[in-house]
Structure 1
């Protein structure tokens, strides 16, 4: 990301030592490290969320495209279930229930 060499780091450390002072330098370095870590975690989370959303959009696009171009939709359509047609028994016919009732 940044092209910082050893000499630049030494220069930053010397300037920080002069500006902050030797007593407060460890505390300032610790706080700066915590902020840098927090910023990195936040950036990683944002990248992860963006990647996840892009993958979700890609999957939606693929599914929509397949739904539009799938030739098997018309072949594999399940016909509506129809009720079997039952005809009521004629009054003159004897049913099994009538035979059992007579016994």
Structure 2
């Protein structure tokens, strides 16, 4: 805003009184005040509009970031679910293979391999020694 000191304001009032005269000075002051109010209101509305635009841009940016985070989380969860599904499929295949081998051995009239008694949870895990007893319930 314009910085006008008291002395400058008094000097301006004296010049206006001399130029306009005492009859027209009140009307000119009201007109100047009205123009200042309009200018201030216009400036305030422009400032408010700019602030609204800035807030709208911040909201849009936040929404984009949230969407990107949600997409990344979705992909991570999807990958975890796929990995768990693959692990479950592998375990079920090993169980089926063990069951098939056990059934085949029994059908052939021989005792199944004792190593099949203890099914490893994951491929590559060591099979416990045969002399350990396992509680099968």
Per the TM superposition, whether the score is higher than 0.5 is yes
Within 1, Cα distance between the matches of 2:38 and 2:2? 18
CA deviation profile, 1:34-93 (whole Å, cap 9, x unmatched):
0100111111111111100110011101111221132333449xxxxxxxxxxxxxxxxx
Name the SS of the counterpart of 2:7 in structure 1: helix
Provide the residue aligned with 2:74 in structure 1: 73
- What are the ranges of 5 or more consecutive residues in structure 1 without an aligned counterpart? 77-103
Provide the residue aligned with 1:55 in structure 2: 55
Name the SS of the counterpart of 1:46 in structure 2: helix
Alignment of 1:9-88 (within 5 A): 9-70=9-70, 71-74=72-75, 75=77
Structure of greater relative contact order (alpha carbons < 8 Å, 6+ residues apart): 2
Instruction: Please say which structure displays the higher CA radius of gyration.
Output: 2
Name the SS of the counterpart of 2:38 in structure 1: helix
Deviation for aligned residue 1:6: 1.4
Name the SS of the counterpart of 1:28 in structure 2: helix
Q: CA RMSD in A?
A: 1.6
Within 2, Cα distance between the matches of 1:3 and 1:53? 29
Name the SS of the counterpart of 1:2 in structure 2: coil
Provide the residue aligned with 1:98 in structure 2: none
Paired residue total? 76
Name the SS of the counterpart of 1:21 in structure 2: helix
Within 2, Cα distance between the matches of 1:40 and 1:73? 50
Which structure carries more helix by proportion?
2
**Normalized against structure 2, the TM-score is what?**
0.51
